[in-house]
Amino acid sequence: MGAEVAEVAQATRVTQATQATQGPRVAQGPRVAGLPGLGRDDALVSGGAVPGAVRPGEAVPDDAVLPVLPALQGLLPGGLRRGSVVTAGPWGLLCLALAAGASAAGAWCAVVGLPQLGVAAAAGAGLDPGRMLLIADPGPGWPQVVASLLDGFELVLFRPPDRPSAQLRRRIEATVRRFGGVLVVAGEWDGAQTRLLVAHQEWVGIGPGHGRLRARRAQVVADGRGAAARPRARWLWLPGPDGSVTIADEASGSREPFWPEIRSTG
Amino acid sequence: MTSASDAPCRVLVVWCPDWPDGDARAFEQVVTAVEGLCPRVEVLYPGACAVGARGPARYFGGEEALAVKITDAVACHGFACRVGVADGVFAAQLAARAPGTGRAAHAGRAGRAGRAARAGRAARAGRAGRAGTPDAAVIVPSGAAMIVAPGEAPAFLAPHPVSSLGNPELADLLPRLGIRTLGDFAALSAAEAANRFGAQGALAHRLARGLDPRPLVPRPPSADLSVSTPFEPPVEQSEPVVFAAKALAERMHAGLAARGLACVRVQVRVICADGQEFTRLWRHDGLLSALAVAERVRWQLGGWQAAHSGAAEGAGDADEGVQAGGITLLRLVPDQLVRNTGHQLGLWGDAVINDRVARAALRVQALLGHGSVVRPLLAGGRNPADQVTLVPFGDAADPLFPSGRPWPGRLPAPAPATVFPVPLPARVTDESGATVTISGRALVSAPPARLSAHGEPWLAITSWAGPWPITERWWQPASARRRARFQLVAEDGSAWLATVQDGQWLIEAGYD
């Protein structure tokens, strides 16, 4: 059952990614990237569907959103809005899952301040290690490092070494908006547009003294500001038995084995 | 120079046998020693350098005396070297490696395993034959130089096998045609050699006749093709200089390309705030990329840094900073210009990384240092920490452990999302509070009941699996490990990969 879901998810990932940028719900900015003066009015008109997506004087990126994994579509309708800051609670697989959809669709991803990132898990969730760059220790000058990276990378995955001041936060948010990337913060960020959190989790496949970790059933809750204000919750396999992230059944009674081989070997 | 100077000038080559590949920093000390006696040292590759012998030999009273002085100077730094003097770099290199100079144990290997593909770069022949560390304990007795008299180079080269040319194709083809020595090859007419063996053959033929691999450009260039960049205020760290060198090298290459030229060598000149000036020549042959030139600047700065601090080679990183009050100017001077015969860029490859990403990554490298920005490569291996190899951005490398092998004992999917670079010490106890131990037969003393990672509060363990014993590299005592793995799930729902080694519990990774 779970394996089938995973397969379907694999097959639909690419199409979902393209749909996300073409769907009618998505604000399609005019293609005037890098020209702040031109097309601003058009951007405001067409960007009306997503209030505050584009502010005057800022460059309008090619597409207004970065795609997300199909499993996260229910939590983040449309995808990750460019120029936004997203938090995903303390460091964990959820941060990687957030970045995976865009990375699979061709975006470059920089990871700052997270020396403990498991690259194999990232690859399992759908990130392309070939389009990843790791900066384990940005040092005290991390705001400058993050700003430099936002210039080139569409996705920056970042854990702040300390709680940044409101002024510093606003400066970084302005940089995010100017370059049209997405900053995924592992930790606290007061001004985040979207917040995701693992509310409940349960590992399956393992018992007291037998089995092994097979998959995690996790309830992920998303809330935020503006259009994303209404909290949404979804059950996900985070990760599934093959390391990918897929939608899990709502019913919590799905603890029956979906890996027959373990039973047959006893 | 005119065609009369087709005969190469006198060259002295200093060759350190068995130099470890890529140890450019330590070689800097050898170069410094040689430079103390003669200016304009050219580094052929880490392990060999060349100087023009005519002037210094006259100053020191003969080539023999010069060779002795250089051998002694290098020996003072604790390195063994051999010296060869002949007409042209190629002959001088073979002379340095010839049996009879110093302890000539490995001289017969010279060039045979040459992996340099181009005969024009035959100067690099024989690199692959070296391994191990420089034998610092042995001091080469003076008088250990092989000196080939002027004009005798063809005769000296004649008995050498054609494999010394460092061209694997020719080394394979010529013996099958009955041409076994350089003498046999040189006996062919130049036109015949070019007709039969192409441009490579023509170059090799020049080498075999004791000539320079390609004719030098007749006169010095009229335009100044050197490029420089000032640093204001002076830069203390070497990283920004290396960063600037990349852009500078691109400018130099563009200037050369506009005139259809390539340089055989590039001179890197650094001027410090206190007026000190450091220069070094590096082999270029029109083949180095901008990044590779910057890499040589890094070696050079790293070498001075090591020399300044008086520390042993290899201590500290190149980005620790340069002494002498900071660097005010970096200049790249193309040296020995030749016509660029061109080389084809790969159809795929370099263009994969787009410009914006590369620029951002380089900027962060300039801020934090070359090694701080890494690309992950998925690799094989049994442990989560082994399964990724981190490669500095801009470098090429292969994974430490090849992937695609079975790796019995590796952890099954899903992979942990958190892999601690240094495993966290932990405590795991049973119900009674005693630490859980594993016997030699992989039996658990009692079911693990409580967990405290890295001094955190105690958590009850709800599920656990293990122990899975793993014995690695028992044939290599230094890296042998014998451990048992566990997967633990705590009451807060978090899942961990723990190992027990020598009775000590460690948290290696987290799954959440």
- Domain boundaries, position A72: 2-19+64-195
Same domain, B35 and B180: yes
Q: Which of residues 102-141 of A touch B (CB under 8 A)?
A: 108, 110, 115-124, 129-130, 132-139, 141
Cα separation, A180 vs A185, in Å, equals: 16
Examine residue B412 and state whether it is found in any structural domain, yes or no: no
Q: Are residues B187 and B296 in the same domain?
A: no
Residues 428-457 of B with CB under 8 A from A: 447
B190 and B264: one domain? no
Contact: A203, B495; criterion CB under 8 Å: yes
Q: What pLDDT score was predicted for residue B202?
A: 84
Tell whether A42 and A138 lie within a shared domain.
Answer: no
Interface of A with B in 161-220 (CB under 8 A): 198, 200-203, 206-216
A with B: how many residue pairs have Cβ under 8 Å apart? 155
pLDDT at B224: 77
Same domain, B36 and B117: yes
Q: Can you name the residues that pair with B272 across neighbouring β-strands?
A: B327
Instruction: Give the whole-angstrom CA distance, residue B207 versus residue A255.
Output: 76
CATH number at residue B113: 3.30.70.270
> Which chain B residue's Cα is nearest to A201?
B493
* pLDDT for residue A29: 36
Contacts of A200 in chain B (CB under 8 A): 493
Q: Which of B316, B339, B362 is the last residue of a domain?
A: B339
Residue B245: give its domain's CATH number.
3.30.1490.100
Tell me, yes or no, whether B121 lies in a domain: yes
Query: Measured between CB atoms, does A230 come within 8 Å of chain B?
Result: no
Averaging pLDDT over each range in A204-218, B101-115, B403-417, which range is the top one?
A204-218
User: Chain B within 8 Å of A265 (Cβ-Cβ)?
Assistant: no
Number of domains in chain A: 3
Q: Does some domain include residue B382?
A: no
A145 contacts in chain B (CB < 8 Å): 364, 367-368
Domain C-terminal end among B177, B208, B239:
B208
Give how far B397 is from chain A: nearest CA, Å. 13
Same-domain status, B161 and B269? no
Residue % of chain B over a pLDDT of 90:
14
CA distance B36 to B387: 47
Chain B interface mutation, best of A116, A178, A258, A261, highest count of B Cβ atoms under 10 Å: A116
Residue B112 lies in a domain: yes
A36 and A140 part of one domain:
no
Claim to verify: residue A119 and residue A189 sit in the same structural domain: yes
Do the chains contact at B367 and A241, CB–CB below 8 Å? no
Substitution target in A94, A98, A148 with the highest count of B β-carbons within 10 Å is A148
| Residue B495 to residue A110, Cβ atoms within 8 A | no
In a domain, B314, yes or no: yes
Out of A135, A160, A195, pick the residue that ends a domain: A195
Q: Are residues B277 and B173 in the same domain?
A: no
| Residues B360, A149: C-beta atoms closer than 8 Å | yes
What is the number of structural domains in chain B? 3
Contact B489 A144 (CB under 8 A): no
pLDDT of residue B423: 93
B435 found inside a domain: yes
pLDDT at residue number B345: 40
Are both A141 and A37 inside the same structural domain? Answer: no
Q: Angle formed by the axes of helices A142-152 and A166-179, to 10°? A: 10
Residues B73 and B144 in one domain: yes
- Tell me if B401 is assigned to some domain: no
Q: Are residues A70 and A54 in the same domain?
A: no
Between the alpha carbon of residue A4 and those of residues A7, A10, A39, A246, A247, the distances in Å are 5, 10, 45, 10, 11
Asked, for residue B363, whether it belongs to a domain, the answer is no
> Average pLDDT, stretch B389-405?
78
Q: Which residue from B266, B272, B346, B274 is spatially nearest to B304, judged by alpha carbons? A: B272
> Which DSSP symbol is given to B140?
P
Question: Do residues A32 and A11 share a domain?
Answer: no
Is there a single domain that holds both residue B273 and residue B132?
no
Q: Is the domain of B42 the same as that of B174?
A: yes
B420 and chain A in contact, CB less than 8 A: yes
The answer on B130 and B31 residing in a single domain is yes
State yes or no: pLDDT of B380 exceeds 90.
no
Res A24: pLDDT: 37
pLDDT at position A25 is 38
Separation CA A195–CA A205 (nearest Å):
29
Give the span between the Cα atoms of B460 and B489, in whole angstroms: 9
**CB contact B463 to A (< 8 Å):** yes
The arrangement of strands across the sheet holding B82-87 comes to B146-147, B82-87, B10-15, B48-52, B42-45, B277-283, B261-272, B327-339, B227-235
ipTM associated with this complex: 0.74
The three-class DSSP label of residue A246 is strand
Together in a domain, A109 and A163: yes
| pLDDT at B93 > cutoff 60 | yes
Confidence of residue B100 (pLDDT cuts 50, 70, 90): low
- Higher per-residue confidence, B312 vs B299: B299
Average pLDDT, chain B: 77
List, for residues B54-86, the tens digit of each pLDDT value: 888 888 888 888 888 898 888 888 888 889 998
Determine the Cα–Cα distance for residues B3 and A53; give it in Å rounded to an integer: 71
pTM above 0.90, yes or no: no
Q: Select from B300, B315, B339 the last residue of a domain.
A: B339
Distance CA B338, CA A197 (A): 64
Q: Which three-class secondary structure state does DSSP give residue B300?
A: helix
A31 plus A73 within the same structural domain: no
Smallest CA–CA separation between B458 and chain A, in Å?
18
**What range does the domain containing B442 cover?**
417-510
pLDDT at residue number B214: 55
Q: Residues A72, A138: one domain?
A: yes
**Which of A123, A134, A209 has its CB closest to that of B390?**
A134
Q: Tell me the pLDDT tens digit for each residue of B177-223.
A: 888 899 989 988 888 888 888 888 888 888 888 887 655 444 444 56
Same domain flag for B62 and B151: yes
Same domain, B93 and B180: yes
- Mutation pick from B357, B459, B488, B497 vs chain A, by most beta carbons of A within 10 Å, is B357
Residues A115 and A136 in one domain: yes
Which stretches in chain A have pLDDT values below 70?
1-63, 226-228, 251-266
So what's the pLDDT on residue A30?
37
pLDDT tens per residue, range B227-250 = 888 888 888 888 888 889 989 999
pLDDT of residue B218: 40
CB atoms within 10 A of CB B242: 27
